[in-house]
Structures are given as structure tokens and as C-alpha cells.
Amino acid sequence: MNISKYEEAIQNCRFCFMCRHLSAIGNVRFTEADTPRVRAAMLYGLRTGTNSFDDEDFVDALYRQDLSACCVHHCVNHFDENGLALAARADVVEAGKAPEAVKALAAEFSASASWKAAGKGDVAWFLDGTTAGDKDAVAAAKKLFAAANVAPKTITGGCIGKALKLLGFLPEAKAAAEKFAAFLAAEGVKTLVVSNPAAYDALTRDYADFGVKLPCKVLHVSQWILQAKLKFAKKPAAPVYPLADDFLRNYDGIDAPEKLLKALKAECRPFGTNDEETYNCGEGAVVLDRLHPELVEALAKYVAARADNPEKDTLAVASVYVKRALAKAGLKAVTLEELAASCL
Amino acid sequence: MKIKPDSYMFEMIRTELTDAVGDANVDVKFADKFGHSIDYYWIPEMWHDRGRPCPQADFIVHPGSTEEVSRVMKIASQYKIPVVPWGGGSGSQGGALPVFGGIVLDMKRMNKYYGVDRDSYTVRCQTGIIARHLEWNCNKEGFSTMHLPASIACATIGGFLAHRGTGVLSTKYGKIEDMVMSLEVVTPKGEIIRTLPVPRHASGPDLTMLFLGSEGTLGVITEVTLKVHPQPESRQFRAYIFPDFHTAMQAGASLMRSRLGPCAMRLYDETETKTHVSKVFGIDLDKGAYLVFGFDGRKDIVNLQMKHAREIMEGQFHGKDLGAKGGEWWWENKYKFFYPGYMFHVPQAFGTLDTVADFAHIEKVYWAMKNVVNKEFPDARFIGHFSHWYEWGCMLYARFIFPGDKVPPDPREAAALYNAVWDKAIRAAIANGGVINEHHGVGLKLGRYVKDLYGSAMPVLQGIKKQLDPDGIMNPGKLGL
């Protein structure tokens, strides 16, 4: 089973309560089932026969997870309960027990795995479907490229593997990854700039796990902006509340967003009561808004309840997913690209 | 009482519960019932490890208000269904396990924070709030509950109230019962009552204290007003190594007798210093006993307190000074001891023989327990530290650990071995002036010793229980009631 690769997490998380306060879903559903402790204990129960994927509620709990990896980030030993949950989803799929909604979503993403390129050159910008849906974020990125005198080749299209991996469809995810890597090679891409943190994480971590080699260097847009050494004429018009990104902080450990905010001379205010929790409404789960829109709404309300002034505050986020989710609770968020572009 | 899920009564009760708290807040599915069947008590962990299902509730109910708790209690009272309040489920005594089925009343939906009263320096909240969340909220307002236990991340405030929990700053700020102003409680019959709004009065016996430590056997605590404190200007720590734990104990007791008022103090015996403190801090403390203490408050006063404390440690007891850094190691890593990798774990068998005694008896208690464990259970290792200090005595956090290969594979035999250690060690502690226990509570694990402990006062406790909960539905099987 895939979960056997995460024996350390099974053994150590199943009786541990130390990250309970960071269980985003647990904090809006108030359940034990939505905590790393209980998920690990349920998965341990597979081997003793007390638990089984035949139980739909067990499987549902696995697919409800927000996958922020706050628990991994918090844990002094960084036991990878998120990796365990993903492996469990893969086991669910292999056992033929995936819920119908999950299977339908996987089929949709699998079918979407094709891309188009517009423009020339070996620097490309991957405009994923989520980011492409936000015209302000797109316009901001274009303004930044123009300011840097870079006319990147723009790549648009569907799933590059991340959503499929998160749903537990590993062969399909790997196939999408291989296809995208081949596409990039065929397009002669040497540098790929990525706006969506989930896509960045897929390209930098998942592809390596799949053994898929990329023909290019991958930069998150925040890294690219810093490297481009753009001249910013002004600082952001209003103070911002930066939210640490699930992927960029907890999975990838990159500090470019913080450095960018510093370079912009943004007046940053701490959001909420702490910097440990995720305020990203299930960003780490990528498709939580498709599987459980009601949970994303609840998570957004949770965030709104922690804002100093929910109607006026501006939250700085790395992902359009988060921006869109927070808007459901009436919160105003801007992407890093939008913030940077406003300073040109 | 177990109610068959396919029975008519099950659906009737479920319908009534749904009517009381809403359909989304009554769970009868597998995952959450499973999650509420294991807490931090070793026996259910071991059963789970060995593939033996643990007793589950029939219904997991998430009330959102005091009124909803009241409605649930009236339903439970009518049908005489057991009700087990559940906070974070991180108790180590089995106090929240639904051993007789019925309703688990998961309180975490009742997590409202009402803010700090800046005139009285108090904070009011519902009891389902996770302690870390409460502390974060208070911190944002510039205050602290000063209740900082290792379980802060997972336990609810209600859980601490239910079993009289304590945190690492207990020496100055007290245990949870010292922090409470007043409570709101729902009785087993569903009545909503409030205790007097101040903790100091001469208006008869203190009902607040009656419910603190009652472990859900007398009612459900739904709301609390707690004292809070402004964040201190300065908090300083210092640590020493003493050649043996006896000398360190004398030094620590002298510091307490000096009434200098440290905010925290902790002493690890030689074994725990070598095996645990060294590992957690990542330094070599091969010999001796590690003692750490701290002061907090105004910086000038803290400096003065520290100066006098150093005179005791160095001048009177010749401790080897590890400096401020040696103390900060502990403060920075105080919770690290409890993370997997540093904490004990099944298949090991382990337990915390939490005992409290005055200074005249505490060393006797330590040796009595250590000797009996070493003699009767040669496969077990005994370690101890003294983690909560008061003017009159301190708490012994003694632990026994069996390596996994010395624990019988049969769950019954393993439980029998485990219980035998408790029987021997706890009775040795009581016989030498110890009281079980200081902050973990009684729960299922220690219920059988309560009669020994209370002696002729036991009927008083039983009488109170009978009066408030005549049908015995509140958390049956716990607290020896």
C-alpha cells in the first residue's frame, strides 16, 4: 500500500494531539475525525482490521482534509501526515473505493491535460486555469512582465498533474506530468514562471517524486519579480495583511513572498491571532472548492471572523484560489502580482 | 446502555437530538465515533494498537449554546442515556471515554470568545474553545491567561476545568482552579445555573469549586470567566545542575520557602536529566539533576528576585550555574518533551504517576514509588521530575516505562500488568503522604483509588453525585462514582 511509505507518520501521529489547534477543517466542523491524530489512527486500523475503506465516512474524512500542511510545519519532527493522507487517497483509488464525485473530478482533470503556447522565446509564463479566471491577477502579471521588458511565451491549459495527485490518481497524475514536461521541452522553454503556488509545488516537488525531469528552471512569480529587480515607484497604497501560503511556506519553504513584500515596502500587519494556522480556505487541497464548497465557505467565514476589519482590510495572498475563496466571506484580497504591479 | 442502531428507539432519540441541536450536529457515522473512542489514556491506545475496538458512543452531539446543552441533557435524562462531555480528548486518564455508550457531548462548537474585561482583567468564553485559541485571543489584546500546559494545543478550557488542569507557570499563577472567577453549568436535569461571580466571598460553600474537578460527573460546564494578566515586561529563567536530586530538591524547596515567588520551577531527577533533558535540549547533561526556575513581571523586580534566587542556588547549595541560556533552553523547549519522538509511545507501556505532597513528604513519596516499581517490575524504568511547585510542596511527575518487547502481546495481560504498576505505585504514594493527583485527574484510570483517598468523606462525594445526578447518567464510570 502507498501508506506504508509513511509508517513514521502513522506511528507517531495516531496518538498525538500537538497540532490539533491547527486542524482547519476540525476547527470549522468541530470533529475529531478531521484531525491528523484520528486520520492516522484510522489508517493504522486498516492493518488490524478495525477499519476499512468500505466505510464511506472514513473515505470521506480523507477527502475532506484541507492539506495545508500546517501540522507538518508545526511538528518538531515534521512528521508528514499530509503525505500520509495523499498516500491513503491513492490507496482508496487503487482499492476502487473512490467516491463518485472524486472519480468524476479526476476524469475531468485527466481529460483537461493539454496546453497551448502563445508567443516566442524561452521564458514562459504558465497561466493555469485558476489564475486565468482572475482578470486583475492576469493583468497585473502582464504589467510586471512589461515593466521588466520580458515578453514571455504564455502557456495556458489544463491539469499538469497536481489535482490528479491530490485526488489519489497517481498514474494519471504522472502521465499528465510527463505530458507537460514533454510539452515544455517541445516549446523550448528554459525558464517557466508560475503564478499558482499549487502548480509551482507540482513542478518542483511532485515531478521529482514522479521521476519526471523538466527541461527548464521553475520560478514562482514572487521569485521572478525579485530576480527581475523591478523598480517600484511607490509603496502599496494601504496596509496589507499577508497570509502565509500553504504551498510556498509549508511545503516548499520559500521566503520570496515575504522578501517581495519587504521590497515593496508594504506596511504589513499580522492577520488574526497567530501566524501558525492556515487562512487559505483549503488551498492545499486544490480542489476542495469543487468537492466541498460548503467547507470552503465555512473556512472563509472562519478567516473573516479573525480579521481586524473584515470590510476594509486588504489581505495579501499568493494564490487566486485563496483570493476567490476569501471573497465568499466578503474579504478583499490581492495577489502578490497585483500588489507589486500597483507599486510600479 | 448501548442502543441498537437499527432500533426504533435509536431513531427516536436521534430525532430528538437533531431537533435540539440541528441535523448537522448529530453524528452517528463511523469516523467521528471512532475518533471519540480513543483519548490519551494508554489502555485504549494499546487496544487500538492490538486491533481491539474501543467502546464507542451511540451519538456524537455538538451543541452550539448553553440552551442546546440543556436540551440535550433533558433528552438524556428522560431516556436515561449516558452523557460524556468531550473537549479535546487529550486526557490521559480515560475521563472522556464513552465506556457505556450513549451520547458524547463534544463541546468544541461552543468556542465563543467574549473578550477581555479591561477593568477587572478577566476574560469570558465558552468552554469548548481550545486553550491555545483562547490564549492567542488574549495575547492579541495584550493579555495572557498564564495557563500554559503542554496540552494547550489540543485541550479545551472545559477539559482543564473538568479535571483541574495546570500549566507551566503554575507556581506564580496557580492551577486552573486559582484562575476561575465563575462558571455556568448545565446540570444533569438540564437546569442552567451560574456560580457566584467572584471567587472570594463568605456566602456559603463555593459551588465553583464543587464543579471544578468533577470531570463531567456532576454536569456540563458551558461557560467560564477567568482571570487574565497583562504580558509581563520581563521573564527570565536560570538553570543549575546539582550533583543529585536530593540536593536539588533542597535548593528548590528553599527557593519556595524564601517566598521570592518564582513563576515556574522544574527539577528533573538524574535519570530524566540524562535521558530526556539532554535529548530535548540537544546537549550533554550526563550527570546530576537539572533544576530550572524563572521569574516574571517588572524588569527591576525580576532582576532583584533573580539575584536573591541565585544566592540560594549558588551560595547555599553550590549548584553549577548553567546561566540564563540554560534556563531558556527549557522555556523554549517546554512543549517539545511531549511530541512524538521525545514522548513515550506504544508498544511501550508507560504512565505518569502524578502525585502531589508537601515538602516534608515529597522525597519519601518519590523513593517509595521508585523503589516499588524497581523491585516489583524490574523490566520497567522509573524516571521523575517535579513540575509544579507551591509554597508548601510540589508535584511529582513520575513515570514508568516498559520497553515494547516486555509488554505482553495479549491486551488483557498487558492491561493487567499496567494496572498492577498503578496499584503498587499509587498505594505506596498514598501510604507515604502523597495525594493522587495534582493535575491529570482521576477519570477511569484512577477511579478505584478514590475511596482510599477520600476515606470517610467518600459518602459526602457520593451524596452530592446522587443529588445532582440521581439517574447516574453523567459520565458514568469516572471519578470512582
Tell me, what amino acid is at B110?
M
Is some CB atom of chain A closer than 8 A to the CB atom of B31? Answer: yes
- C-beta separation of B108 from B126 below 8 A: no
Q: Given 3.30.930.10, 2.40.50.140, 3.30.360.10, 3.30.300.330, which CATH number is that of B349-445?
A: 3.30.300.330
Query: Contacts of residue B346 in chain A, CB cutoff 8 Å?
Result: 15
CATH number for the segment(s) A110-228 = 3.40.50
Residue of A nearest to B139 (CA): A273
Tell me, what amino acid is at B42?
W
Residue numbers of chain A with a pLDDT score lower than 70:
none
Task: Give the closest residue to A29 by CA, choosing from A297, A277, A322.
Answer: A297
Provide the shortest C-alpha distance from residue B30 to chain A (in Å).
6
Which residue do the cell numbers 514562471 mark? A193
Give, in order, the Cα–Cα distances in Å from A187 to each of A190, A196, A203, B282: 9, 20, 16, 51
Per-10-residue mean pLDDT for chain B, 481 residues long? 82 97 96 96 96 95 98 97 96 96 98 98 98 98 97 97 97 97 98 97 96 98 98 98 97 98 97 92 90 98 98 98 96 94 93 95 97 97 95 96 96 96 94 92 94 93 97 96 93
State the architecture of B234-338 in CATH terms: 2-Layer Sandwich (3.30)
- C-beta separation of B153 from A21 below 8 A: yes
Is some CB atom of chain B closer than 8 A to the CB atom of A316? Answer: no
**CA B175, B176, B181 angle in degrees (round to 5)?**
125
Give the residue from A13, A273, A274, A302 with the most B CB atoms within 10 Å of its CB, the best one to mutate. A273
Is some CB atom of chain A closer than 8 A to the CB atom of B30? Answer: yes
Asked if B137's CB is within 8 angstroms of A38's CB, the reply is: no
Domain limits, chain B:
8-108, 110-230, 234-338, 349-445
- ipTM of the complex model: 0.96
Q: Provide CATH 3.40.50 ranges for chain A.
A: 110-228
Residue of A nearest to B92 (CA): A15
Query: Contacts of residue B90 in chain A, CB cutoff 8 Å?
Result: 17, 20
How much is the pLDDT for B283?
Answer: 86
Is some CB atom of chain B closer than 8 A to the CB atom of A38? Answer: yes
Asked if B341's CB is within 8 angstroms of A42's CB, the reply is: no
Query: Which B positions 71-130 lie with beta carbon below 8 A of chain A?
Result: 88-90, 106, 108-109, 111, 128, 130
10 Å Cβ neighbour count for B463? 10
- C-beta separation of B21 from B73 below 8 A: no
How much is the pLDDT for B452?
Answer: 87
How much is the pLDDT for B3?
Answer: 79
DSSP per-residue string spanning A125-171: EEE-HHHHT-HHHHHHHHHHHHHTT--PEEEEES--SHHHHHHT-HH
- C-beta separation of B13 from B4 below 8 A: no
**C-alpha span between B326 and B343 (Å, rounded):** 21
* Burial degree of A237 (CB within 10 A; 0-12, 13-18, 19+): exposed
* CATH topology (fold) of B8-108: 3.30.43
Asked if B335's CB is within 8 angstroms of A18's CB, the reply is: yes
**C-alpha span between A248 and A251 (Å, rounded):** 6
How much is the pLDDT for B282?
Answer: 87
Which residue do the cell numbers 504512565 mark? B351
How much is the pLDDT for A29?
Answer: 97
Provide the shortest C-alpha distance from residue B53 to chain A (in Å).
6
CATH number for the segment(s) B110-230 = 3.30.465.10
The pTM assigned to this predicted structure is 0.96
Strand partners of residue B241: B290, B320
How much is the pLDDT for B1?
Answer: 58
